[in-house]
Structure 1
Amino acid sequence: MKIAVVGSYGVGLTMRVPRFPAAGETVSGGTFASEHGGKGSNQAIGAARLGASVSLLTAIGHDANGAAARKLWNDEGVADAHVSVVDLPTMVGFIEVDPSGENRIVIAPGALDTLDGDSIEGFRSEIASADILVVSMEIPRSAVAAALRIARESATRTLLNPAPARQLPDDMWGDIDVITPNQTEAPVLLGLSVDHGLDDVALAAALQERTGGAVILTRGGHGALIADADGTRPVPPNAVANVVDTTGAGDAFTAALAVGLAQGASLDRAAEYAAKAGAHAVTIAGVVPSLPTPADLQNPADTQTGATR
């Protein structure tokens, strides 16, 4: 079971503050945390923890954050031989969070901006030999498009996690086998306004018509919706007694979905397995710590219920 992942790595620098400062003001009394992040890295680690052989393509800098990333991937069993190392800083996100949970985020993409079609071409052999390619969208759109196109040329199944969401060019849709937006991302992908008036079933069906493949629309505590050639149907929610942190749920979901599909599970069974991973993730603080192992989940062939965030 082999999975190729194309996406981002970055460091999240979070400051929890008593209140947001005004322009020119200094506010003391905050607490600080630095965490590994980036959807590509998170999803690669999640898939490796669930037993897949994983190869990752991302871009990092010749800096301490890049070195920390290498150690993380080595510890987690993620193959990083194709990771691009460039003379720009590793991606960093600066996050301020106030006591109400409101946040302000500034991202410096740095090395990630160097990923392009040529970078992906060097990853072709890994894509071609994989059971499934996972792509997320915290990287330039040209790199996303190239990864999906190479997978199509190589007859490798594709899974696009469209986060952060943006409209896709018409020629990209046909290269997507499975797409996993949440309720906020789906209308953005379709180019709809905030007051579009479509319910989740209509959104999922519209996306399925656009791609011709399969759509799994994640709906937080309401589970998910699958839309494919057989129609639209729900993935039931999995009750969670104590929600601690929803940050890692989407990446846990995507990683487990990829593993389920790579193992040969049906789309429904793989989605239920993924939903269970998402539900597990919300019970643990932090993203990487929340990504489950097989001991935390049922085998996708045996899973009957699930949930996602």
Structure 2
Amino acid sequence: MNAPNITVIGSLNMDIVVESDRFPVQGETLLGKAIRFLPGGKGANQAVASARLGASTRMIGAVGDDSFGRELLQALTNEGIVCEGVRAFPDATTGIANIFVSQGDNSIIVLSGANHLLNPEDIDRIKLAIEQADIVLLQLEIPLETVSHAAKLAKSFGKTVVLNPAPAQPLPESLLRDVDYITPNRTELSLLTGFSENDDLEASMRKLIGMGARHVITTLGSEGSAFIEASGPLVKVPGYKVPVVDTTGAGDSFNAALAYSLAQRKSLEESVSFAAKVSALAVTKFGAQPGMPTLEEVEQFTTRMR
């Protein structure tokens, strides 16, 4: 089978990662253990994860005309990702994510920078990358107007659209109707539907189906994930217990792996199970993009789990 063609439309950030023994409380100053500058951004992370799995991957996004932007583009190019769709804005700064890591968990503050300048006209200029894709993969660290335009354009070409609705925000039903697969975590599902996180999971997911999405996949952390189709039952897929080093990028690896598997015409259950393996491996390494596993690593992990 030929390698899947995946076009990722989303953010590129420089991750400034600070490690400490614990998170500070309000008003407290702590001494950190280490600092790292790592390529990141949900869009770029998903592009790297896709490329590592073997997909032919294109990135559409925006950076500033600065050293961080040049470094991010070089990192993607080194992974074999086509970056002609990444626009450099001369009067903007590249996006930055301040990531605080402690005991395998993280908290993140994102400064959007050039990411928020990506507009529908930028998508139209590179629409060939969408027309030639098997899957178009989207997130919400770029303007919602641009996400909606990209999804509509992709559907006009008959493409499959996967939306990772993060960071969480309300979404118009017009966008949801252009989405084939939406992948909220439990918190994002709650915000999208108005159900609390303590409400019935299936009812929450069915509400999202009723709002227009064709398939809903909800990630449940250590409990694995669940998916539902318009006419099918709720199906739960278990996760994998692994030693956790850094959860940054776990969701991004899941989404890229889901898109990769769907592009190979695997069933939704097979694709969700594959994505669970990829995200499990991703958290065993430090950093979002450095932690993305190769297809060979996933295959070896699968063999060990049998």
Q: TM-score, normalised by structure 2?
A: 0.89
Asked if residue 68 in structure 1 is aligned to residue 77 in structure 2, the reply is no
- Mapped partners of 1:218, 1:22: distance in 2: 30
Cα distance change on mapping 1:285 and 1:170 into 2, 3 Å: same
**3-state SS of the aligned residue for 2:240?**
coil
1:262-301 mapped onto 2 (5 Å cutoff)? 262-298=263-299
The answer to whether the Cα contact below 8 Å between 2:48 and 2:76 also exists between their aligned partners in 1 is yes
- Post-superposition Cα deviations, 1:214-265, rounded to whole Å, max 9, x if no partner, equal 0111111111111102323334224324222222211111111111011111
1:114 matches 2:117 = yes
C-alpha contact (below 8 Å) 1:222/1:237 kept by paired residues = yes
Q: Give yes or no for the alignment of 1:153 onto 2:127.
A: no
1:36-185 → structure 2 map (5 Å cutoff): 36-87=39-90, 88-96=92-100, 103=107, 105-185=108-188
Deviation at 1:277, TM superposition (A): 0.7
User: Is the counterpart of residue 210 in structure 1 residue 211 in structure 2?
Assistant: yes
Distance 2:106 2:249 in 1: 18
Bigger drift between 32-41 and 205-214 goes to: 205-214
Deviations 1:134-153 (A, max 9, x none): 00111111111111010111
Percent sequence identity over aligned pairs: 35
Residue 123 (structure 1) shift: 2.2
2:42 paired with 1:35: no
Once residues 34 and 255 of structure 1 are traced to their aligned partners in structure 2, the CA distance between those partners, rounded to angstroms, is: 23
Q: Aligned to 1:48, what secondary structure does the other structure show? A: helix
Do 1:235 and 1:271's aligned partners in 2 also have CA atoms closer than 8 Å? no
Q: Which moved more, 1:209-218 or 1:80-89?
A: 209-218
Match of 1:279, SS?
helix
Count of aligned residue pairs for this structure pair: 299
The match for 1:229 is: 230
Consecutive aligned runs of 4 or more in structure 1 exceeding 4 Å deviation? 17-23, 25-30, 96-103
**Structure 2 Cα separation of the partners of residues 292 and 98 of structure 1:** 22
> 1:173 is aligned with what amino acid?
L
Range moving further from structure 2, 240-249 or 117-126: 240-249
Give SS of 1:215's match. strand
Q: 1:100 and 1:114, CA in 2 relative to 1: closer, same or farther beyond 3 A?
A: closer
- In 1, the alpha carbon distance for the partners of 2:134 and 2:35 equals 40
Residue 246 of structure 2 contacts residue 284 of structure 2 at CA under 8 Å; is this kept in 1? Answer: yes
Structure 2 unaligned residues grouped into runs of 5+: none
Give the root-mean-square deviation of aligned CA atoms. Answer: 2.6
Whole-angstrom CA distance in 1 between matches of 2:221 and 2:96: 27
* Kept after mapping to 1: 8 A contact 2:225/2:239: no
TM-score (norm 1): 0.88
Aligned 8 A contact 2:105 2:247 in 1: no
* Rounded Cα–Cα distance in structure 2 between residues aligned with 1:229 and 1:80: 36
In the TM superposition, residue 41 of structure 1 has moved relative to its aligned partner by: 0.3
- Deviation (angstroms), 1:33: 1.6
